[in-house]
């Protein structure tokens, strides 16, 4: 199956590409956004993806657009360094469409889906420790914390305990092995709308790929790389990610909680705002949701870079979890 780009029209509208501009699509995936942006204006698009399979999908666009498209392999958390190394000084727009693509979900071998049997992998970049390494090696408490904090799984302790008991006799190797154990731990599927493993799988995927850490680095990198007037557009599917983008833009535009635009200027003692014109679009219209279930939980947030310097303040993570390297050998 191919990937249906979410909120495509809104994304292009908020990116508002102009001829000669440089737009970075940090989550190339199947190239849905990239293609639409290239078609909307005579701009140049830099595609970035950490998944080697996405790089292969870029060859068709490269053939169609040649001098207006550059594909780069890497993480969007490094978007400023990646684009500078490729010779682009400053960006006019950055777009991120977070999470996994349908290409990744639908391929058994990638091990992202609890509906398909495959190796318990979940690595977007196809390198480094896998979900199997995590599930087979991490402490019970860490596994529970991951499921609770990243998946809001209320039965996280029970599932973690069952995982640790089961792996003593047989290590986890496949997606269905884990999905079935979670299903049993939670008392089966009857009467449940979503598969019982949905939350745990999402949490393990986010942890294996350090998705929140990458988002934090990308927000800081985009703030450094965008030119004055540059647009930042981010589509999220998870409440923690959406909250990170929301509070980053609120802070950087001088409207942190408790502060309002009616507050006297003198009360705002932080650095000059690095973003302005913050906008939000909630879940897309019903027709799009009907055509694409993935769109249901999506949010788009955008803002425009001011001419103020980037803030010297790291983006805080909403969770307190160790890193993958700290929990696997
Ligand atoms: C939801 S898909 C993007 C789909 C794309 N907008 C389209 O229309 O085809 C997300 C893509 O971002 C990539 N990705 C996720 N996190 C990344 C990161 N930190 N750095 C680079 N690529 C990442 C994934 O590998 C995946 O291909």
For ligand 1, the distance from its centroid to the CA atom of residue 268, given in whole angstroms, is 36
For ligand 1, the distance from its centroid to the CA atom of residue 54, given in whole angstroms, is 8
Rounded CA-CA distance 156/153 in Å is 5
Ligand 1, residue 5: give the atom nearest the CA.
8
Please say whether the beta carbons of 229 and 304 come within 8 A: yes
Rounded CA-CA distance 259/253 in Å is 11
Residue 103 assigned to a binding site:
no
Which protein residue has the closest C-alpha to ligand 1 atom 20? Answer: 75
Please say whether the beta carbons of 291 and 4 come within 8 A: yes
Q: If 0-12 CB within 10 Å is exposed, 13-18 middle and 19+ buried, where does residue 298 land?
A: buried
Residue 32 assigned to a binding site:
yes
Tokens 């599932």: give the residue: 159
Rounded CA-CA distance 128/107 in Å is 19
For ligand 1, the distance from its centroid to the CA atom of residue 104, given in whole angstroms, is 10
pLDDT in tens, the chain (329 residues): 578 899 999 999 999 999 999 999 999 999 999 999 999 999 999 999 999 999 999 999 999 998 999 999 999 999 999 999 999 999 999 999 999 999 999 999 999 999 999 999 999 999 999 999 999 999 999 999 999 999 999 999 999 999 999 999 999 999 999 999 999 999 888 777 789 999 999 999 999 999 999 999 999 999 999 999 999 999 999 999 999 999 999 999 998 754 555 555 545 667 999 999 999 998 777 777 776 766 778 999 999 999 999 999 999 999 999 999 999 98
Q: Which residues line ligand 1 (CB under 6 A)?
A: 3, 5, 27, 29-33, 48-51, 54, 75-77, 97, 99-101, 124, 214
Domains and CATH numbers, the chain: 8-102+211-305 (3.40.50.150), 110-208 (1.10.150.170)
């Amino acid at each position: 199956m191919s990937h249906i780009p979410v909120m495509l029209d809104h994304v292009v509208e908020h990116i508002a590409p102009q001829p000669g501009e440089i737009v970075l699509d940090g989550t190339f995936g199947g190239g849905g956004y990239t293609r639409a942006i290239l078609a909307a204006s005579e701009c140049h698009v830099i595609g970035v993806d950490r998944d080697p399979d996405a790089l292969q999908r870029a060859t068709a666009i490269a053939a169609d657009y040649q001098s207006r498209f550059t594909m780069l392999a890497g993480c969007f958390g490094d978007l400023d360094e990646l684009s500078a190394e490729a010779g682009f000084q400053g960006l006019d727009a950055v777009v991120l469409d977070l999470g996994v693509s349908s290409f990744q979900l639908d391929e058994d071998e990638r091990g992202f889906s609890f509906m398909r049997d495959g190796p318990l992998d979940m690595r977007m970049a196809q390198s480094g420790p896998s979900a199997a390494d995590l599930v087979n090696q991490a402490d019970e408490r860490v596994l529970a914390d991951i499921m609770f904090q990243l998946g809001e799984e209320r039965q996280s302790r029970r599932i973690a305990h069952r995982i640790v008991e089961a792996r003593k006799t047989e290590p986890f190797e496949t997606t269905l092995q884990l999905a079935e154990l979670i299903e049993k731990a939670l008392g089966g599927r009857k009467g449940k709308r979503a598969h019982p493993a949905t939350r745990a799988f999402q949490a393990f995927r986010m942890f294996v790929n350090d998705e929140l850490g990458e988002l934090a680095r990308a927000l800081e990198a985009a703030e450094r790389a965008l030119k004055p007037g540059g647009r930042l557009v981010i589509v999220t599917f998870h409440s923690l990610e959406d909250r990170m983008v929301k509070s980053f833009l609120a802070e950087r535009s001088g409207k942190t909680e408790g502060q309002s635009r009616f507050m006297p200027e003198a009360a705002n003692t932080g650095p000059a705002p690095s973003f302005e014109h913050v906008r939000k679009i909630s879940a897309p219209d019903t027709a799009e949701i009907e055509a694409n279930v993935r769109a249901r939980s999506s949010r788009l947030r955008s803002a425009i870079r001011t001419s103020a310097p980037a803030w010297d303040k790291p983006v805080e993570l909403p969770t307190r979890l160790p890193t993958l390297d700290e929990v696997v050998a």
